[in-house]
């Protein structure tokens, strides 16, 4: 017979747990989250349960189970590793018409503990015929779909309003945050950058209006003022607008400008930080931007204007003398001028450099060079944006990682 599923409201109600091992350790926190008054009867408990007992959240009776322990309980969990004890606990509970869950025998258990999960106000519980592993797998799939908005998002009556500035991460669609993906699935309008994860756009519902706000280097682009106007226009129509960007909205993403524009019009804004490419792309190429004994600082620089340009606010002489890691964005087209400037201002011509194109994507490729050779090598390799340039001795760490891995290959 199939079980009759209920959601037990245990707040303020006594629950008895017989046994203090790993099964009890898994079940007690969920009971506490439901507001249950938990009593554990066991000669010993795990360290995790001991912490709950020490803080007064659980009552522990440090002794073996005895007849009468189930009295006053609304629910009993028989979690010992002794089948005879579990049988006795279940028999007493059955005689007193108290629901009892046996951890050791699903067929002899009057009730089953489902694999459960929660996303906002939605609770999910799966029994799968009493098979806990299968139930957990199905639970994880459903909870994951609820979190990323695959299930239920556009039917939610409490859909967000206004604008969400969402960082899409460095390129790999799997690197967007859970919150970002959830809001994307709830959008009525999506205004997307060129570097936003394109695979995520293919998952949008057909009724979502997609606006291309790409800024192509040295090519077509949508002016920032126009983007601001679109955000405000659609939000004032009552639509939920997601501004999807590559990386993080506030790291050379003009998220601050868009937030201010919305604030001036009284439009609420949700900010969802993203994994920023100046850190993620070097990591994807096995290069840490900091490393003990090598570099304890790193600088992220936008080179949308070259060194020496009157519009530049970058202190290149100070960066050259710092010795820290330099992570350069929008630098490929100006790499020759950058290298010459850094060498002129004090960086060694032999300083290691790595250039990573299409970081985190299947098309990712990287080249090693030095400041004195990087311009020539980038040209020869045909490196094109989007690419990240890393300057500093941390590049050697990435090379060392590759060497160690190569030596371990049989």
pLDDT digit string, tens, across residues 27-37: 999 899 999 99
Cite the beta strand spans of 9-137 per DSSP E.
Answer: 14-18, 37-41, 59-61, 75-78, 99-102, 115-119, 122-126
**Does the structure show a pLDDT above 60 at 298?**
yes
Q: Are 343 and 405 in contact (CB under 8 A)?
A: no
What pLDDT, on a 0 to 100 scale, did the predictor assign at position 150? 67
For residues 36 and 157, the model is more confident at 36
Asked whether the predicted pLDDT for residue 195 surpasses 70, the reply is yes
When pLDDT is averaged across residues 378-398 and rounded to a whole number, the result is: 94
pLDDT computed for residue 185 by the predictor = 86
Residue 368 phi/psi, 5° resolution? -100, 145
pLDDT of residue 19 exceeding 90, the answer is: yes
Average pLDDT over residues 298-309: 93
Could you tell me which CATH class the domain 14-113 is placed in?
A: alpha beta
Q: What angle do CA 199, 203, 207 make, to 5 degrees?
A: 135
Alpha-carbon gap, residue 85 to 247, rounded angstroms: 56
Q: Are strands 298-302 and 163-167 parallel, antiparallel or unpaired?
A: unpaired
The per-residue pLDDT for 313 is 93
Overall average pLDDT of the 355-370 stretch? 95
Could you list the active site residues? 193, 215
Whether pLDDT at 77 is above 90: yes
Picking from 176, 182, 209, 181, the residue whose alpha carbon sits closest to that of residue 195 is 176
Question: Tokens standing for 245?
Answer: 């960007």
109-154 pLDDT tens trace: 999 888 888 877 778 888 888 788 888 899 888 887 877 666 665 5
Quote helix, strand, coil % in the chain, to nearest 5: 35, 20, 45
Q: What is the pLDDT of residue 87?
A: 97
Which CATH architecture group holds 162-272?
Answer: 3-Layer(aba) Sandwich (3.40)
Q: Where are the alpha helices (DSSP H) in 265-324?
A: 277-284, 316-322
* 197-228: pLDDT as tens digits: 888 888 788 889 999 887 655 556 788 999 99
CATH for 278-402, among 3.30.950.10, 3.40.50.970, 3.40.50.300, 3.30.300.160? Answer: 3.30.950.10
Name the residue with higher pLDDT: 145 or 90: 90
Per the prediction, the chain carries an average pLDDT of: 91
């Amino acid at each position: 017979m199939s079980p009759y599923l209920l959601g037990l409201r245990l707040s303020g109600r006594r629950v008895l747990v017989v046994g203090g091992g790993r099964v009890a350790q898994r079940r007690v926190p969920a009971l506490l989250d439901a507001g249950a008054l938990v009593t554990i009867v066991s000669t010993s408990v795990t360290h995790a349960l001991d912490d709950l007992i020490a803080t007064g959240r659980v009552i522990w009776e440090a002794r073996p189970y005895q007849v009468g322990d189930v009295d006053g309980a609304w629910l009993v969990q028989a979690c010992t590793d002794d089948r005879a004890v579990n049988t006795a606990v279940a028999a007493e509970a059955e005689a007193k018409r108290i629901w009892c869950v046996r951890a050791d025998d699903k067929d002899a258990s009057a009730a089953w503990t489902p694999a459960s999960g929660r996303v906002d106000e939605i609770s999910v519980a799966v029994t799968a015929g009493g098979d806990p592993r299968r139930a957990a797998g199905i639970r994880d799939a459903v909870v994951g779909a609820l979190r990323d908005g695959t299930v239920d998002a556009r039917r939610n009556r409490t859909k967000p309003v206004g604008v969400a500035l969402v960082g899409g991460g460095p390129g790999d669609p799997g690197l967007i945050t859970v919150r970002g993906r959830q809001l994307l699935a709830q959008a009525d309008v999506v205004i997307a950058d060129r570097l936003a994860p394109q695979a995520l756009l293919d998952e949008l519902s057909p009724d979502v209006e997609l606006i291309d706000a790409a800024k192509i280097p040295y090519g077509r682009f949508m002016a920032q003022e126009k983007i601001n106007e679109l955000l405000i226009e659609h939000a004032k129509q009552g639509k939920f607008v997601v501004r999807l960007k590559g990386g993080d909205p506030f790291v050379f993403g003009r998220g601050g400008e868009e937030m201010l524009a919305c604030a001036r019009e009284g439009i609420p804004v949700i900010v969802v930080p993203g994994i920023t490419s100046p850190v993620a792309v070097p990591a994807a190429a096995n290069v840490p931007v900091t490393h003990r004994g090598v570099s304890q600082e790193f600088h992220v620089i936008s080179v949308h204007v070259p060194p020496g340009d009157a519009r530049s606010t970058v202190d290149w002489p100070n960066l050259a003398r710092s010795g820290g890691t330099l992570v350069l964005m929008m630098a490929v087209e100006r790499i020759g001028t950058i290298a010459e400037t850094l060498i002129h201002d004090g960086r060694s011509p032999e300083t290691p450099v790595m250039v990573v194109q299409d970081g985190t994507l299947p098309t990712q490729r990287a080249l090693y060079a030095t400041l004195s050779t990087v311009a020539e090598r980038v040209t020869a390799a045909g490196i094109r944006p989007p690419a990240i340039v890393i300057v500093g001795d941390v590049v050697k760490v990435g090379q060392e990682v590759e060497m160690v891995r190569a030596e371990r290959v049989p």
